Structure 1
Amino acid sequence: MTLRVSVIGTSYLGATHAAGMAEFGHEVIGIDIDEDKVKVLNAGQSHIFEVGLEPLLEKHTATGRLRFTTDYTQIADWADVHFLALGTPSQANGAADLSQLHAAVESLAPLLTEPCLVVGKSTVPVGTAMALEARIRGLAPAGDAVEVAWNPEFLREAYAVEDTLHPDRLVFGTHSRHALEVLDEVYALPISDRTPVVRCDIATAELIKVAANSFLATKISFINAMAQMCQAAGGDVTLLADAIGFDNRIGREFLNAGLGFGGGCLPKDIAALAYRADELGVNVLSDFIHAVEAINDGQRTEIADLAIEQAGGDVTGKRIAVLGAAFKPGTDDTRNSPALTVADRLHAAGADVRIYDPEARLPPREGFTQVASVEQAMLGAEVVLHLTEWPEFRQLDPEKFADLVKAKVLIDARLKLHAPTWRNAGWKVVQIGRAATM
């Protein structure tokens, strides 16, 4: 069954979700207050780098199944389902900033004169959905005929299109049988492919996403803490992770020691969960999350300090090459990027930082120079840092760069380079947590 679907907000989540809904066969209108963004999307182009997104946009805008607008009157009584896909960034105190969600509701609700379903996809503190439903019903002429459900997203940047079209699970949080039936229609294709569906109350749906991200963050921080233990004791954290990963209760995924996590989701989601836990008096959870955050922040300091140590204890005026700016490979997203945190700390210590990334484009900023190639980054460098594990960095020939650098010192903060190859080419290679192989 073809439905009319609106997607409110067309940044990373919204643009991908809108394209996915069109691919599922629905008629889709995406809406955003940014006129320039809407023009780009209507041209079938993507304003972000995400594998596979632009072909989907081009395909469905060409047929007219997918279009974008800035006008709420075009979607209000047109759509059967309205998806809220707005950002919920962190405030200074860690709480989620819900202003974009509230602004969207204030614009949409007064125009709703017909029964419809409003579905949240944004990651929000538990309790948000019920408050939004009360506000929408208070503003909408249709009143209680407007229902609210929550359908959290589980997109991985660089795999967002795949995760949208072939999700590993779907979560439908609602207190209405009718809403469940509508969501079953929306996701009829993945459900027909036997995608697991969790049908639950709204509060549980709100908590599932932040619980998932908090658990992933915990695994990353745990293995990074073990990396420091291996460093101190003379062990190898990669072999340790391989060994414990064979245990099905633990698993190997997200047990990759290195520079820690970043991006626009994990850091802000776990901070918001800790803040909400404090509000609800669940201090044991907030204390736990703060420990995870402290380990993650400490990894960035550890790598910056290691670079200073390898440069002789002082980086003043010394050139440092940084390979990677995006928070992970496969995306141009630099939000809360560990690589940029390290670069900033080295600049603050007096270093001349040169940074290269295959996709991320940085606005002019004091602290370092973005260059167009690995060669330009390495020229005259006294320390080279591998901070984002782009595949092309694993293919580098260390002998090619031996005459470019001032000192052949490589810090592999992601533990993804083949250290023996670099060492055989005369480089000193430092990988935190792999003291046994140094």
Structure 2
Amino acid sequence: MKLSVIGCGYLGAVHAASMAELGHDVIGIDIDQAKIDALAAGKAPFFEPGLPEILTSATATGRLRFSTDLADAAGSQVHFIAVGTPQKRGSYAADLTYVNAALEGLLPYLSDGDLVVGKSTVPVGTAADLAAKVAASGSGAMLAWNPEFLREGFAVQDTISPDRLVYGLPPEPAQAEASKALLDAVYESALGKDTPLVVTDYATAELVKVSANAFLATKISFINAMAEIAEVTGADVTQLSTAIGLDDRIGWKFLKAGVGFGGGCLPKDIRAFTARAEELGRGESVAFLKEVDAINLRRRQRVVDLAVEALGGQVNGKKIAVLGLAFKPHSDDIRDSPALDVAVQLKGRGANVVATDPEAIHTASRVHPQLTYEADPAAALQDADLVVLVTEWDEFRYMDPSWALPLVKTPTIIDGRNTLDATAWRAAGWTYISLGRP
């Protein structure tokens, strides 16, 4: 099929390349010329495992092209809108400027029977508003909503072999049938593997995405709240999470206490959800998400407080090695990163912060040049008064404590992800400090 993808950021670039890899003829469109040039050359503008390989293979076949001109979308049967929906300045609400601009720019190039497909995460009600604009254009095109469920670090895999598909279809039966047929053709490969499919309306499809993120955020903040209780009672939150996770009604995934969640999705999405619920007069229904957000932010502060305590209350001039900058491993994404937040806070208190990360140094240094960065973990550790692990890259999780011991000035480590072998680190001579554990 001929597809266009409007917006070639994280979501759009992965979607465009993956669709081309599956055999579709895809044009990716973005206003950022530098980004388009990089993608056209087979270079990913951000770190995502597997993306460079499929960019190279798909562009080489001619099935994947990139442009800054929306007119190049003309002739495609299906048009995916995959632009960002950041948090508005001074508000919890989502900023739909890019979504609206993408649709307005696309309208002149739509033809009868075309399908516009929203993939951006938006407040419930957005799809209906956009569908009205498509209908008013007189193009004869239709609109559907098809939320994404990508995990950074596994986005290519999640796009080519998704764990589920959701179609939010128009209310008119004929349009719903035609839209579903086009989406079925797009996702023929996944559907052929019996991928679960939920066919629903606009509002439900929009709510699926934000509800999933709200639930995951709640689960993370729940175990972090239990970590706060564990810290004042002497309990061990890691054993607690194991015990309750064995209940198959609960499950152990996302029940890992630590410095909390970040990234470009969960924080902004739960805030936008609360804002939209308040607009709908149902703010009380998701009021708990404000506490979920507050718990999450408290855990960052707790790591900073532990660092101050570990240094005897005197941080100024002390060297602190921070292991991790990205909000999670297998990514260079520093948006709302707990790791970077901790590093910046410690720097603000006068510490000599030296941070290392396998992939995120370049992105972090552009935003926070006041920090010192070292690509080599050994250089970051050298003569450190304190080590703080805040992103659980394998390079840090499996670091040999005996190897690291002679590098540092003071062998004290704060495990902000509860991911290290505490027994091994203590046996090697380290003072090991973690969250929610004795």
Aligning the two structures, in what range does the TM-score lie when normalised by the shorter sequence? over 0.9
Residue in 1 that maps onto 2:236? 236
How big is the shift at 1:25?
1.7
Residue in 2 that maps onto 1:347? 347
Deviations 1:74-130 (A, max 9, x none): 212x10000000000111311111111111112110232433100000000000011
Query: 4+ residue runs of structure 1 moved beyond 3 angstroms?
Result: none
User: 2:55 is matched by which residue type in structure 1?
Assistant: L
Contact 1:112 / 1:141 at 8 angstroms: preserved in 2?
no
Residue in 1 that maps onto 2:325? 325
Task: Please state whether the residue corresponding to 1:389 is helix, strand or coil.
Answer: coil
Task: Please state whether the residue corresponding to 1:5 is helix, strand or coil.
Answer: strand
Residue in 2 that maps onto 1:397? 400
User: 1:150 is matched by which residue type in structure 2?
Assistant: W
Deviations 1:22-41 (A, max 9, x none): 12221111111111111111
User: 2:365 is matched by which residue type in structure 1?
Assistant: P
User: 1:156 is matched by which residue type in structure 2?
Assistant: R
Distance in 2, matches of 1:324 and 1:55, equals 25
Residue in 2 that maps onto 1:288? 288
Residue in 1 that maps onto 2:173? none
Residue in 2 that maps onto 1:167? 162
Distance in 2, matches of 1:401 and 1:46, equals 33
Residue in 1 that maps onto 2:50? 52
Residue in 2 that maps onto 1:81? 78
User: 2:65 is matched by which residue type in structure 1?
Assistant: R
Contact 1:409 / 1:428 at 8 angstroms: preserved in 2?
yes
Task: Please state whether the residue corresponding to 2:372 is helix, strand or coil.
Answer: strand
Distance in 2, matches of 1:6 and 1:152, equals 16
Contact 1:410 / 1:429 at 8 angstroms: preserved in 2?
yes
1:64 aligns with 2:62: yes
Contact 1:259 / 1:387 at 8 angstroms: preserved in 2?
yes
Task: Please state whether the residue corresponding to 1:67 is helix, strand or coil.
Answer: strand
Residue in 1 that maps onto 2:151? 156
How big is the shift at 1:185?
1.1
Distance in 2, matches of 1:367 and 1:249, equals 46
Distance in 1, matches of 2:95 and 2:142, equals 23
How big is the shift at 1:433?
1.0
Distance in 2, matches of 1:351 and 1:420, equals 28
Task: Please state whether the residue corresponding to 1:403 is helix, strand or coil.
Answer: helix
User: 1:290 is matched by which residue type in structure 2?
Assistant: K
Q: Which runs of 5+ in 1 are unaligned?
A: none
The 5 Å alignment of 1:113-192 reads 113-138=111-136, 140-142=137-139, 145-175=140-170, 176-192=176-192
Contact 1:220 / 1:261 at 8 angstroms: preserved in 2?
yes
User: 2:194 is matched by which residue type in structure 1?
Assistant: R
1:41 aligns with 2:39: yes
Residue in 1 that maps onto 2:300? 300
1:412 aligns with 2:415: yes
User: 2:199 is matched by which residue type in structure 1?
Assistant: R
1:196 aligns with 2:196: yes
Contact 2:365 / 2:371 at 8 angstroms: preserved in 1?
no
1:273 aligns with 2:280: no
Task: Please state whether the residue corresponding to 2:143 is helix, strand or coil.
Answer: strand
User: 2:80 is matched by which residue type in structure 1?
Assistant: F
Which of the residues 87, 104, 118 maps onto 2:102?
104
How big is the shift at 1:313?
0.8
User: 1:374 is matched by which residue type in structure 2?
Assistant: P
Deviations 1:330-371 (A, max 9, x none): 001111000111111111211111100011022343542111
The alignment's TM-score, normalised by the length of structure 2, stands at 0.96
Deviations 1:131-163 (A, max 9, x none): 11222333x351xx1111000000000000110
1:313 aligns with 2:313: yes
How big is the shift at 1:266?
0.5
Contact 2:275 / 2:283 at 8 angstroms: preserved in 1?
no
Distance in 1, matches of 2:111 and 2:228, equals 59
Task: Please state whether the residue corresponding to 1:321 is helix, strand or coil.
Answer: strand
Task: Please state whether the residue corresponding to 2:303 is helix, strand or coil.
Answer: helix
Distance in 2, matches of 1:366 and 1:306, equals 25
Distance in 2, matches of 1:411 and 1:285, equals 37
The alignment's TM-score, normalised by the length of structure 1, stands at 0.96
Contact 1:353 / 1:367 at 8 angstroms: preserved in 2?
no
Task: Please state whether the residue corresponding to 1:354 is helix, strand or coil.
Answer: strand
Distance in 2, matches of 1:221 and 1:113, equals 47
Task: Please state whether the residue corresponding to 1:402 is helix, strand or coil.
Answer: helix
Aligned pairs, number = 429
Contact 1:110 / 1:141 at 8 angstroms: preserved in 2?
no
1:13 aligns with 2:14: no
Distance in 2, matches of 1:12 and 1:379, equals 35
